[in-house]
Amino acid sequence: MQKLMLLGDEALAQGALDAGMSGCFAYPGTPSTEIMEYVQHNKEAVERDIHRTWGSNEKTIMEAAVGMSYAGKRTMACMKHVGLNVAADPFMNSAFVGANGGLIVAVADDPSMHSSQNEQDSRFYAKFAMIPCLEPSNQQECYDMAFLAFELSEKFKLPIMIRLETRLSHSRAGVTRRDKIAENVGKLPEDKNQFMLLPSFSRRKYKNLIKLQSELVAASENSEFNSYTDGSDKSLGIIACGLGYNYVMENLANRDVNYPILKISHYPLPRKLVEKMYKECDKILVVEDGQPIVEEMLKGYISGNEKIKGRLDGTFSYDGEMDPNKVAVALGFGKEVVGTVPEDIVGRPPALCVGCPHIDSFVTLNEALKEHGDGHVFSDIGCYTLGFMPPYNGINTCLDMGASITMAKGASDAGLFPAVAVIGDSTFSHSGLTGLLDCVYDKSNVVIIILDNATTGMTGGQNYTGENKIEEMCLGLGVEKEHIRVVTPLKRCHEEMVQVYKEEIAYNGVSIVIPRRECIQTMTRRIRAQKKAAKK
């Protein structure tokens, strides 16, 4: 069979489809977005009518996936690492209720923060929840692990995490498919109380989960994705986790060195294999892409264990993405770098697109706020976070999805005036609604600007659940009709926009201003598609 050239994200999606997935649930977030997009565009997924629409946020999609698992079908919830924070409540508790139909929690981490506000390592969450975590090292494993994850999930009746990182999510390679597995017919859990978490049940479930741990370790020890390659030079053993394995092999494949290598792509840690290496080798180098979770476990808290090398002892920097060069240096193969980046070369940070409606929204907002000085604008996660960049310098904060509204509220509660929130339409649907309800409840003196470009822009233009009902949602939550103002972010509306902002800043209460104009990227794509359709 010819290989498919797939991104890591796409390979996981194809694997889940071939392994009998009945529903995919997701909210877009770099680098995880392409998992769902692949399912949405996959012909067979459409034919099988697999669930494949975006949800409101990571919490709702995680809960929906648990619901599909309850109904006995195989399902996957997909999100980026910080999305798992949003889904943390159902995620942690899903380890207690467990799974009926196979349940995969696919989380894509972003070491080096290419497109994220932090670089937290989701393996901590898997350990926290005491569930297995699979960490593929290549695209083929992304595909194959979907099969294993569903199998493990149904065997142990637990959700299984598959952890990806940017470099794998967004890298393409050939993938060979397996024979397909039919979707589950669907049946309710044998134990009708399996998904019930009253305290008396929870205590029992926790004990079961604790008891299960030794079986999970045994499964890791026998996993096809963990392997021990012995070597004659025991001065160093290498533990290579996930992508770390590639960077180790990149350096060792053509060299005559013979260190034992333990490849780990299936957690909890395979105890026997780790202990073998610890006993036999003088030192151990832990190569992991992300935070030093394995290294910390091996090293322990008490100081003096110099045997373990990695991010904690400075062999690698604590932060940032792992790469083949860092591993080369750690292994003593560092080479002289011939070329350097000339001094005249300047950075080219991302910027708002030419013609972007947010530009007009920031230019006018800056003008309206001029008399109040700097420090009044609370922003959120999306393209408009780039409003921080010159020449706009239009925002002062960015914390997490939805925080613009609630931070503005808190600052207003502290007496800051004016307090302005800037949030995108999709982000507002994701987690702005409850914050707005808080503002309405307290009659907070805030101006909330909902930038409506009719799409989820930063991740490439996905649909979102609150489309075409921003005003209705605000009205429904109790914002007064006369303080929901819609404006058009265009140069010719400049004066009007400044005036509307000023009026709403002057109003002592909750104001909503909605600058509404289609994202320039989605508009271009839409027009191109229309032209193409017209030609046909």
Partner 1 sequence: MKINIILAGVGGQGILTIAKVFGQVAVKQNLFLKQAEVHGMSQRGGDVQSNLRISDKEIFSDLIPEGEADLIISVEPMESLRYLPLLAPDGWLITNAKPFVNIPNYPEIETVYNEVRKVKNHVIIDAQGIAKEIGNVLASNIVMLGAAAEKTCFSMEQLEVALHEIFISKGEKVVDLNVKALRAGNEAKSL
Query: Site residues (CB under 8 A) for partner 1?
Result: 2-3, 5, 7, 30-31, 33-34, 114-115, 167-168, 170-174, 243, 245-247, 249-251, 253, 323-325, 328, 335-342, 344-353, 383, 386, 390, 458-460
Nearer to partner 1, 211 or 255 (CB): 255
Question: Hey, what are 89's tokens?
Answer: 């409540």
Smallest distance, partner 1 to C-beta of residue 337, A: 5
Smallest distance, partner 1 to C-beta of residue 74, A: 27
Q: Is 19 exposed, middle or buried (0-12, 13-18, 19+ CB in 10 A)?
A: buried
Q: Do residues 376 and 422 touch, judged by C-beta distance below 8 A?
A: no
Nearer to partner 1, 165 or 452 (CB): 165
Nearer to partner 1, 34 or 471 (CB): 34
Question: Hey, what are 462's tokens?
Answer: 């996905």
DSSP string, 204-215: HHHHHHHHHHHH
Q: Do residues 401 and 431 touch, judged by C-beta distance below 8 A?
A: yes
Nearer to partner 1, 493 or 523 (CB): 523
C-alpha–C-alpha distance, residues 304 and 30, integer Å: 40
Nearer to partner 1, 338 or 414 (CB): 338
Smallest distance, partner 1 to C-beta of residue 395, A: 15
Smallest distance, partner 1 to C-beta of residue 327, A: 9
Nearest residue to 474 via CA among 517, 433, 425 = 433
Nearer to partner 1, 35 or 498 (CB): 35
Q: What SS3 string covers 39-64?
A: HHHCHHHHHCCCECCECCCHHHHHHH
Amino acid letter, residue 77: A
Nearer to partner 1, 18 or 250 (CB): 250
Q: What SS3 string covers 436-465?
A: HHHHHHHCCCEEEEEEECCCECCCCCECCC
Nearer to partner 1, 250 or 480 (CB): 250
C-alpha–C-alpha distance, residues 510 and 420, integer Å: 10
The total number of residues written for the chain in this structure: 536
C-alpha–C-alpha distance, residues 123 and 87, integer Å: 15
Nearer to partner 1, 484 or 519 (CB): 519
- Strands of 411-533, DSSP E: 420-424, 446-451, 484-487, 510-515
Smallest distance, partner 1 to C-beta of residue 385, A: 9
C-alpha–C-alpha distance, residues 322 and 167, integer Å: 10
Nearer to partner 1, 96 or 384 (CB): 384
Burial per residue of 149-168, b for 16 or more beta-carbon CB atoms within 10 angstroms, e otherwise: bbebbbebbbbbbbbbbbbb
Smallest distance, partner 1 to C-beta of residue 184, A: 32
C-alpha–C-alpha distance, residues 156 and 150, integer Å: 10
Smallest distance, partner 1 to C-beta of residue 253, A: 6
Smallest distance, partner 1 to C-beta of residue 339, A: 3
Smallest distance, partner 1 to C-beta of residue 342, A: 4
The DSSP secondary-structure symbol of 154 reads H
Smallest distance, partner 1 to C-beta of residue 171, A: 4
DSSP 3-state assignment of 98? coil
